[in-house]
Amino acid sequence: MDFSDTPGYHGHTEIGLNGALIGISTIVCSLRVFVRLFITKSLGLDDVLAAIAYLALTALSVMDIIAVQFGSGTHIAFVPEDVISKYFELFSIESILYFWVIAMVRYSILAFIPRIAQDKTISRISWAVAVLIIAQTIVATVYRLTECEPFLDNFKSPTTPGSHCVGLARHTNMMIGHGIVGIVLDLILLVLPIYVICNKMMWSRRTLQIVLVLSIGIFAVATAIIRVCLFATINLKTDVTWKMPFLSIWTNLEAHVGLWCCCFPALQPLLRTFMPANQPRVVSAAYNNSPHARYISGTQDRSNTRKEYELNANRPYEMLNGSQRTIVLPDKVKEDTIRRDRDEPAV
């Protein structure tokens, strides 16, 4: 139905913002796939997870757009009762899908870390974060599906006669708890790659560029904080169809920004088009297997290694394996890091 003529209607804003988010995510994810398939030729698990997150997130935004014709963005007084029931049915599906969308986004970021570091401590932290993500997602999903008895009442309006649900206050507390845990996980996923990059490379302009790219994740954390604050302050007991879009757009924005952040590091090789043709060095623990790393560490004849390295200068990507191609920069890797990674067994 068309509610655009009703007072206070803001459904068009929800449609426009979700359309823009879908468009930007499509461009960013397409560039990521292009780089990994045709430039670095290093398609991996993190790309698969990012693709799944993109498809699910697109579906979530499309549902938000569809919800507009069921009264989203319209004062509930102007929405017929039969249409309101369809709105709550769609909203219930969205809320469950969101838990898994944001989990896939976080997993795609987590799966990127082994590409740039193979360290026991980092690996243990990554596994711990992975367990927390799946535990958070399963607990939130199960709780959401058992809020009402019988089960099908979860997909009906809270005002449906005879429904037995936990109540809006407890639902809101669950969403706030899920959001707070998510903020902690986002902070870990923000700091961990930056720590790896700073620990594996000599500090330079290129290192700063990578750190700045990864720091865009601050916006994802900020949107998550705003969403939790809105959940804690907005009263959804009245006029839910008009108030809910203010929460929904921040929910979708959090997931989309997180998806962009996990894609940006993979786009780094595109910057080579605008940089001088310098011999690349690789920000990766696997870099210690290259002839150049052996040259730095003194474990191979220096003259022969230099000659071999210079002969391959015109085809740098052919010298790199899939992990090494992830981020390529014209900076030296820290010598002590190379030696330390060489001595540590692969995880």
> What pLDDT score does 33 carry?
93
Of the candidates 106, 102, 99, which has an alpha carbon nearest to the alpha carbon of residue 128?
106
Distance (Å, whole) CA 22 – CA 202: 37
Residue whose token pair is 């935004």: 61
Domains of the chain: 11-271 (1.20.1070), 275-343 (no CATH)
> What pLDDT score does 289 carry?
44
CB of 242 closer than 8 Å to CB of 8? yes
Of the candidates 289, 262, 328, which has an alpha carbon nearest to the alpha carbon of residue 118?
289
| CA atoms within 13 A of residue 81's CA, in its CB half-sphere | 4
What phi and psi values does residue 282 have, to the nearest 5 degrees?
-110, 135
Residues 6+ apart with CB under 8 A from 294: 288, 300, 305
Distance of CA 153 to the CA centre of its chain: 32
> What pLDDT score does 197 carry?
75
Length of the chain: 347
> What pLDDT score does 138 carry?
96
What phi and psi values does residue 241 have, to the nearest 5 degrees?
-65, -30
Of the candidates 22, 18, 55, which has an alpha carbon nearest to the alpha carbon of residue 245?
18
Each residue's pLDDT expressed in tens, for the chain with a length of 347 residues: 888 899 999 999 999 999 999 999 999 999 999 999 988 888 999 999 999 999 999 999 999 999 999 999 999 999 998 888 889 889 889 989 999 999 999 999 999 888 877 788 888 999 999 999 999 999 999 999 888 887 777 877 766 666 778 877 788 889 999 999 999 999 998 888 888 777 766 666 666 766 777 777 888 899 999 999 988 888 887 888 998 888 888 999 999 999 998 888 888 777 665 555 444 444 444 444 444 444 334 444 444 544 444 444 444 444 444 444 445 443 334 444 444 444 443 33
Which amino acid type is present at position 3?
F
Distance (Å, whole) CA 286 – CA 74: 55
CB of 249 closer than 8 Å to CB of 230? no
- Alpha-helical segments (H) within the chain: 11-34, 45-67, 81-116, 120-145, 168-200, 205-214, 217-233, 240-263, 291-297, 302-311, 335-343
Cβ neighbours around 318 below 10 Å, total: 8
Distance (Å, whole) CA 188 – CA 192: 6
At 49, list the tokens.
Answer: 């997870």
Give strand pairing partners of 164: 149
CB of 105 closer than 8 Å to CB of 55? no
Distance (Å, whole) CA 344 – CA 186: 28
> What pLDDT score does 45 carry?
92
Torsion of CA 65, 70, 73, 74, to 10 degrees: 160
> What pLDDT score does 235 carry?
83
133 burial class (0-12, 13-18, 19+ CB within 10 angstroms)? Answer: buried
Distance (Å, whole) CA 183 – CA 186: 5
- Alpha-helical segments (H) within 154-239: 168-200, 205-214, 217-233
Distance (Å, whole) CA 190 – CA 212: 11
